[in-house]
Amino acid sequence: MVRIGGNSADQLAAYLLGLAAPLTVLSPDEVRRALVRHAHAFLAAHR
């Protein structure tokens, strides 16, 4: 388990996706939602 922080939920989500490693965001919900938004945008752009 690793604890990290960032300036914004979107910025942190983008960083986490850039790690290209399996991960689970335990909290906060705002970061989890941002991660899902970023993942959906990535998938939509690469259909």
Token pair for 32? 């989890």
> Helix 29-45 vs helix 9-18: angle between axes, to the nearest 10 degrees?
60
**In this structure, is residue 41 part of a structural domain?**
yes
pLDDT for 44 equals: 96
Domain housing 20 = 9-45
pLDDT for 40 equals: 95
User: For the chain, first and last CA: distance in Å?
Assistant: 33
pLDDT digits (tens, 9 = 90+) for 1-47: 889 988 999 999 999 999 989 999 999 999 999 999 999 999 999 98
pLDDT for 13 equals: 94
**In this structure, is residue 37 part of a structural domain?**
yes
Question: How many independent structural domains does the chain possess?
Answer: 1
**In this structure, is residue 1 part of a structural domain?**
no
**In this structure, is residue 2 part of a structural domain?**
no
- The alpha-carbon radius of gyration of the chain (Å, integer) is 11
pLDDT for 33 equals: 96
Provide the phi-psi class of 32: left if phi over 0, else alpha when psi is between -120 and 50, else beta: alpha
pLDDT for 21 equals: 94
